[in-house]
């Protein structure tokens, strides 16, 4: 029986890593597209004119804090501190939701100001890259919420710890992607 569980665990881990590698290719393609299109504003505004850098910095801190809470959830779970683990996982979800809400508000504000994805190739690349990351965050929040309910209802056992670990890998991957988005899109793209 233990052998079957180890085999399932290995298959699940391998599956996640294969998925993340395909996601890496997807995001690399979107980054390359954005970099090629970032100067193509069709006479409209570039990133320097439309990005609100203090707002994006707060948004970034929300995601980084969410990622920190995710790491603490995993560490406390390994030490069998169930209440702390649930608290940290809930904070992961809360700050991830704050990040996603801020991103959606940023998109809505830009669109209300007439800066939609169809205004220029630059904005098309921007909305596609950042929106794809946001979609991944939404999926991660759904995954974390289901995981939270499962861990709340059941005692913390090896299978639950494994599932939390797989989620943490995914969540930290999204944090790393965001750091690249923040650096390439907002810092570099926002100064041109």
Domains of the chain: 2-188 (1.20.120.80)
Q: What is the pLDDT of residues 104-153, one digit of tens each?
A: 999 999 999 989 888 899 999 999 999 999 999 999 999 999 999 999 99
What is the pTM assigned to this prediction? 0.92
The whole-angstrom distance between residue 7's C-alpha and the CA centroid of its chain comes to 29
Contact 81, 156 (CB under 8 A): no
- pLDDT, residue 12, reads 81
| 69-96 burial code (b ≥16 CB/10 A, e <16) | bbbbbbebbeeebeeebbebbbbbbebb
- Positive or negative, the CA dihedral 184, 129, 109, 143 is negative
**Over 70: is that where the pLDDT of 2 sits?**
no
- pLDDT, residue 158, reads 86
Contact 41, 191 (CB under 8 A): no
Give long-range contacts, CB 8 A cutoff, 24+ apart: 83-90: 85/151, 85/156, 85/164, 86/148, 86/151, 86/152, 89/144, 89/147, 89/148, 89/151, 89/164, 90/148
Q: What is the pLDDT of residues 3-29, one digit of tens each?
A: 556 677 778 889 999 999 999 999 999
Tokens describing residue 128: 């596609």
Rounded to an integer, what distance in angstroms lies between the CA atom of residue 147 and that of residue 187?
A: 34
Q: What is the pLDDT of residues 32-74, one digit of tens each?
A: 999 999 888 888 888 889 999 999 999 999 999 999 999 999 9
Contact 119, 174 (CB under 8 A): no
- pLDDT, residue 191, reads 63
**Over 60: is that where the pLDDT of 1 sits?**
no
């Amino acid at each position: 029986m233990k052998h079957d569980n180890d085999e399932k665990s290995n298959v699940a881990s391998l599956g996640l890593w294969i998925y993340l590698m395909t996601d890496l290719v997807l995001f690399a393609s979107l980054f390359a597209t954005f970099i090629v299109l970032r100067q193509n504003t069709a006479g409209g505004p570039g990133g320097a004119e439309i990005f609100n850098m203090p707002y994006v910095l707060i948004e970034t801190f929300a995601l980084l804090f969410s990622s920190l809470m995710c790491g603490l959830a995993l560490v406390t779970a390994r030490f069998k501190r169930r209440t702390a683990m649930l608290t940290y996982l809930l904070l992961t979800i809360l700050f991830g939701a704050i990040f996603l809400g801020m991103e959606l508000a940023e998109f809505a504000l830009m669109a209300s100001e007439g800066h939609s994805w169809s205004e220029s190739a630059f904005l098309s690349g921007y909305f596609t890259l950042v929106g794809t990351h946001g979609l991944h965050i939404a999926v991660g929040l759904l995954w974390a919420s289901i995981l939270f309910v499962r861990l709340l209802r059941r005692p913390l056992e090896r299978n639950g710890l494994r599932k939390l670990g797989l989620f943490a890998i995914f969540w930290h991957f999204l944090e790393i992607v965001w750091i690249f988005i923040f650096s390439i899109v907002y810092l570099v793209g926002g100064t041109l």
